[in-house]
A and B are shown apart, each in its own frame.
Chain A
Amino acid sequence: MIGSGTIATVVDAAGLIGTVFIEAIALYVGYGALEQSIGRRMVDRIRSE
């Protein structure tokens, strides 16, 4: 089921999925920090317009 490719192919595929996973985590943390720093101010600004 995993596939009949070489070990290198499996490793490359795992590396690609790992890259997507790491990017997702990094973006989650990064945008979370952005939300913490300016989120409240933006909401207050929208409310007061």
Chain B
Amino acid sequence: MEVFGLSLVLIALFVGFGLLIGILFGFFGMGGSFLVTPALLVMGYPSRIAVGSGLAFVFGTSVIGALRHREHGQVDYKLAAIMTAAMTIGIEGGKHVVFFLDATGRADLIISVAYVGLLGVVGLFTLRDAWTSDDTADANSQGLAERVQSLRVPPMVTLRGDVRVSATLIFAIGLVVGVLSGFLGVGGGFLLMPAMMYGLGVPAAIAVGTDILQITISGAFGAFVYAQSGAVALPVVGSLLFGSALGARIGASATQLVDEGEIKGYFAMMLLAGSVAVATKELGTAYGIDVLSTVSIALIIGATILVSGAVVLAAVCRLRRDSAGPLCRLTTT
């Protein structure tokens, strides 16, 4: 039996996957779109549909995230405005690149290679961050932010948290992230958050609120430009959103109990697993080894289950004040 062109099994799979991604989004403040687009690519959706649907999913999930955070008031509207303007231009550019590559028949391969590289690099940096002591990490991030703030490229703006930085630099960062967003179908949160916190020195709470607001706007624009070309699979997006809306609540609640740093190592391993999964799929396609497609799907879903499971387990252990049990000991890295 099919509903809107999808089998019930596929709908259930998308809802379940959305639930896991929602937990990650609610907890880490990052959309999980870097898992959705590769997952759709691995499942055989054309790159335009995978990227467009990923952006639409990001938009829907970030609306929910923005609603959850609206009461906190942790938004720098000046920063969000500059980033949104830059990302909007960047997304349009990224979309044109995808459509050009699609016309030449190379989009799937090139986007996959880009994902392998990006997930691998960000994953390795996050893993290094997880293994570095808090003092060393704080010193490193502060040094970079101070160097960026010392670059006096006019016009200069003062952000919340008393951060004075070049608006031109902010625009350039937003442009690069926008191009990646439009090219890969990601919301950009996992790039923008480190850029704002470590690159600009924006306080973490303000970075999260600002990030979610501008992802909502840029995600809407990105999804709109792809939707104009018929490249958004609404039944897929709807099914994913049905699960992520609940998952986001669970993940957000877990932040009250669990420190992100305790399971950052798991998050880094998930990024690396995503990188390996996309590479595995491409190898399978290139050499005609069908089992590698199954392996890559298993890697993505397995990594998502592992990390979202770690978040939920850690929250349950904190609720029960249990840190000694065999399962609870696994929730810190």
Which residues of A are at the interface with B, using a C-beta cutoff of 8 A? 1-3, 5, 9-10, 12-14, 16-17, 19-21, 23-25, 27-28, 31-32, 35, 43, 46-47, 49
Tell me the B248-268 residues at the A interface (CB within 8 Å): 249
| Residue B114 at the chain A interface, CB threshold 8 Å | no
Return chain A residues, CB-CB under 8 Å to B232: 16
In the complex, how many angstroms separate the beta carbon of A38 from the nearest chain B beta carbon?
Answer: 12
In the complex, how many angstroms separate the beta carbon of B15 from the nearest chain A beta carbon?
Answer: 11
| Residue B225 at the chain A interface, CB threshold 8 Å | yes
Q: Are A20 and B237 in contact (CB under 8 A)?
A: yes
Interface of B is mostly: helix
In the complex, how many angstroms separate the beta carbon of B314 from the nearest chain A beta carbon?
Answer: 13
In the complex, how many angstroms separate the beta carbon of B208 from the nearest chain A beta carbon?
Answer: 18
| Residue B171 at the chain A interface, CB threshold 8 Å | no
A13-B228 CB under 8 A given contacts A20-B241, A21-B63, A31-B245: yes
In the complex, how many angstroms separate the beta carbon of B242 from the nearest chain A beta carbon?
Answer: 7
Q: Are B63 and A25 in contact (CB under 8 A)?
A: yes
Q: Are B228 and A3 in contact (CB under 8 A)?
A: yes
Q: Are B249 and A23 in contact (CB under 8 A)?
A: no
Q: Which 5 pairs across A and B sit closest by C-beta, in order of nearness? A: A27-B245, A13-B227, A24-B63, A13-B228, A24-B60
